[in-house]
Amino acid sequence: MSERNTLIRSLHDVGLAAWFGGSLMGAIGLNGAAEEEGGAQATRDRITSAGWAKWTPVNAAAIGVHLFGGGGLLAVNAHRVATQQGVAASSAVKTVVTAAALAATACTRVLGKKIELASSTDPQDTEKARKHPVDLDQARRQMTWAQWAVPALTGCLVVLNALHGEQQRPAEQLPGMWQRARSVAPFIA
């Protein structure tokens, strides 16, 4: 009943691990270290912006790998999604949480870029910031919430991934498929 999909599952899991772990480390480690370093708020903004800018390409790759792996897992488990009770619902929830995590990640990048430009000492960045003024206090407040949304949502994905693993156990598949068949039987007649 179950077949091995080690590569696709590994892509899914490693991508999610990097997305979750990187966002959590950044929120706690990078931002905390910049805060402890002291100095002017603009200096702290520059430190955190530089760190997050270095992480962005890796994070984008991790997200891409996770999404590719997730799509592959959905394809190889399409029969279970259609026939096993609970799998379609948990897959739908996982899709919604993934979309929310992507939106939160995009939001943090946009806010981060605004803060980066506004705090930069580079004349080109200063000119860009002058053309597109930003309320730095508001952007910082929004960033405080958005930066914690990413590890919270990706942490939910880790839990949903564990649920999917439990649903894939042979002892869960047959009863789940039987329950699904029984639930649609009245509509078949």
Instruction: Calculate ∠ Cα 161-21-150, nearest 5°.
Output: 75
Distance CA 85, CA 72 (A): 21
- Alpha-helical (H) ranges within 30-135 are 31-37, 41-76, 78-83, 87-119, 123-131
Q: Is the pTM of this model over 0.95?
A: no
pLDDT at 49 over 80: yes
pLDDT band at 181 (very low <50, low <70, confident <90, very high): low
Of 100-104, 131-135, 175-179, the one with minimum mean pLDDT is 175-179
Distance CA 2, CA 127 (A): 58
Q: Which whole number is the average pLDDT over 54-82?
A: 94
pLDDT for 87 equals 85
Q: What is the mean pLDDT of residues 146-151?
A: 95
Task: Give the whole-angstrom CA distance, residue 30 versus residue 52.
Answer: 8
> Poorest-confidence range of 22-26, 47-51, 177-181?
177-181
Percent of residues, the chain, with pLDDT higher than 90: 52
pLDDT at 125 over 70: no
Using one digit for the tens of pLDDT, what is the confidence trace for 152-175? Answer: 999 999 999 998 888 776 665 555
Integer CA distances (angstroms), 134 to 126, 129, 143, 173, in order:
12, 7, 13, 53
What pLDDT score was predicted for residue 187?
Answer: 64
Asked if the model's pLDDT at residue 130 lies above 80, the reply is no
Conformational region of residue 120, where left means phi above 0, alpha means psi within -120 to 50, and beta covers everything else: beta
| Mean pLDDT, rounded, for 106-134 | 80
